Chain A
Amino acid sequence: MVFLENLIHILYFVMAGLIGLSMVKSLFKRKKNGSIVFDIMYAYCLIPFLLRVLYIK
């Protein structure tokens, strides 16, 4: 149970990292919603994922 708990915990950190990467990809390469507003949105939304993966917040 403790092992599973830890495994799920780590998997969520990995998922946060993958979502962060997908945001970086969407910032630079996307087909829809091309305006600068979406650039700002993707860069801004990256912050919590970055801080989580770095084990800061």
Chain B
Amino acid sequence: MEATKKRFILKIAILVVMLVFAAIAGVKFWQLRHYKETIVLSEDITDVKWLSDYCPSLKDTWLDTPVFIADSGVEGGTVFINGCPHPYEPASTMAAFLMLENIKVEKGKVIIVPRANYSGSTEGMVGDAYPRFFTVETQWGGETFRIGDRYTNPLDQWPDPFTYVNYPSGQNLAYQDIRNLNRTYPGRENGTITERAAYAIMEIIRQEDVDIAIDMHEAEILYPVTSTYVAPAKVLDREKFLETGVMEYIEPERNSLDVAMMAAMNIDQFFMKCAASPNTLHGLSHREWADWSDAMTFLMETPEIFIDKITGPRTEALLYEGKDEFLQNVTDKGLTYFPYDMEFGTPMWYRTARHLSGAMEIINWAALFYDDVECIVSWPLYEEMAEIEEQGIDSIGYFLKNPDAPENEANRFVIYHKPVEK
């Protein structure tokens, strides 16, 4: 009897210890889920909409996210910039934040979504011991941002199927890609929550008559499509597909690939190449945005060694500075797709600046090819950021504005999945 009682007490003790572990982990997960990033919007931001304005069933879900519009009021091209489709590629988000804080538009309209998969940004990479946050050094101390995952948080979309069938192509993809925003385009109004977010983004492009749509990503340097523009050479014959179900690809009215090739060739500050979007790989923005809208579409990849699988420990320093001896060895053996140099690394400012200049190059070259899509816009570019870095100042922090400064109070905006009172 005494032994049974002792065993019962031991079981209770084990349970309590595990509950303490659960509580410690739970607090960390809770902090990541509910952390709110604050930015200071440029005076040129004229309107804020939400993804749920384009797909109402997203309202009050964690896939709803703000959509910022900077309209010059002067007739010109409309540019759409998609940030954070994969939250664990954070230079994409930082580039969108720097655009939002510093944008000036003289002609045309720019639409920016800084956290396209908000839900995915609220969880960390499972099993990879990723840090949850990173801090940008600023003049007022530091600003902290989330890193996030590649996929929609399972708290918001669960379970996964055995295989994901992309709609409407019918292509089979990996099961977890049902939560991958950049595999679920063109999405559907009544699909899974990630498909609905994809549909809402398609609706932004269609309803706002977007001419140039740019999707910002980051990629491993062991992945061939790193440091690359991806754009379609041909687009789906939509009418034929809807009538017959046969997928045939035709010359687009405006050729994105021509624009991307010229932009890649013209960039001399950093290494950038160009690839044609395959007709047979579905669900990705550079394929489906072009197939299901009239916009010219581009996907940009920067080199992010943090997500390469053979690095040393995944620390905040590795994310922010991108210096890793294992990848240097692999690069020396000619096995990477980027001329990696550990002395310089692939720092966050460099990857962010690449997106800022890469997007600007596309906008400028598109206007040279097709003058009716001209959009005159400015934000910080690679050269300016490199000069600031040479002075030992964090160039991302330099271009961020202090959200707590009284002069910025009117333009302060909390990035969350629903409006937050100021």
Contact = CB atoms under 8 A, between A and B. Distances in A.
B14 A43 contact: yes
Contacts of B8: 28
B25 interface: yes
Interface in A2-57: 2, 5, 8-9, 12, 24, 27-28, 36, 39-40, 43-44, 46-47, 50-52, 54-57
B267 interface: no
Interface in B240-291: none
Given A1-B190, A2-B190, A27-B11, A51 B25 contact: yes
A56 B22 CA distance: 10
Contacts, number: 57
Interface string B181-196: 0000000001111001
Contact of B18 (A5, A12, A44, A55): A44
B159 interface: yes
Contacts of A36: 10, 14
A31 to B, nearest CB: 15
Nearest to A48: B22
Interface string B146-164: 0000000001011100000
B190 A56 contact: no
Contacts of A40: 14
Contact of A56 (B11, B33, B192): B33
B190 A54 contact: no
Nearest to A3: B190
B326 interface: no
Given A2-B190, A12-B159, A51 B22 contact: yes
A1 B190 CA distance: 6
A43 B18 contact: yes
A51 B84 CA distance: 26
Best-buried of B17, B22, B26, B191 by chain A (most CB within 10 Å): B22
Nearest to A54: B26
B15 interface: yes
Given A36-B10, A43-B18, A46-B18, A57 B190 contact: no
Nearest to A46: B18
A47 B15 contact: no
B57 interface: yes
A49 B15 CA distance: 14
B17 A43 contact: yes
A9 B63 CA distance: 15
A51 B29 contact: yes
5 contacts: A39-B14, A43-B17, A51-B22, A56-B26, A57-B26
Given A36-B10, A43-B11, A46-B22, 10 more contacts: A1-B191, A2-B57, A9-B157, A27-B11, A36-B14, A39-B10, A39-B14, A43-B17, A50-B19, A57-B155
Interface pairs A-B: 8 shortest CB-CB: A1-B190, A43-B18, A57-B29, A47-B22, A43-B14, A56-B26, A43-B15, A56-B29
